[in-house]
Structure 1
């Protein structure tokens, strides 16, 4: 399952997201869209997980506060 994660801090890294999502199951991949100039996050990214773990992560993390922002988490 591919999961969209929006409203991320520009300081968020793939490691941060991986650590957050691994609580719900195996994380297959994480990609945060980078700003071409600064290299920091553009504020959104994608996490890939198995379907059951992904569904649980979405239900638990949508609208959750992470790095001082409320994330938007949903299936792509």
Structure 2
């Protein structure tokens, strides 16, 4: 069995995966609404994604701990 990644990296890896997926989906939807052809979409989307992903990554790193603290006020067992 492969060795697992240490727990201390959980937040960072979560932010990487979540930001990748969020940026990919949101940028694809927005670009698809503003382009007429697949060729335009393919030309524009990679740059939009490349700009959005780091922004969402940093936002998740900053916002997730605040959301978790807020949820601790309302959720039992935390």
TM-score (normalizing by structure 2): 0.25
Q: Return the index of the structure with the highest Cα Rg.
A: 2
Q: Larger relative CO (CA 8 A, sep 6+): 1 or 2?
A: 1
**Which one has a larger percent helix, Structure 1 or Structure 2?**
2
TM-score (normalizing by structure 1): 0.26
**Which one has a larger percent strand, Structure 1 or Structure 2?**
1
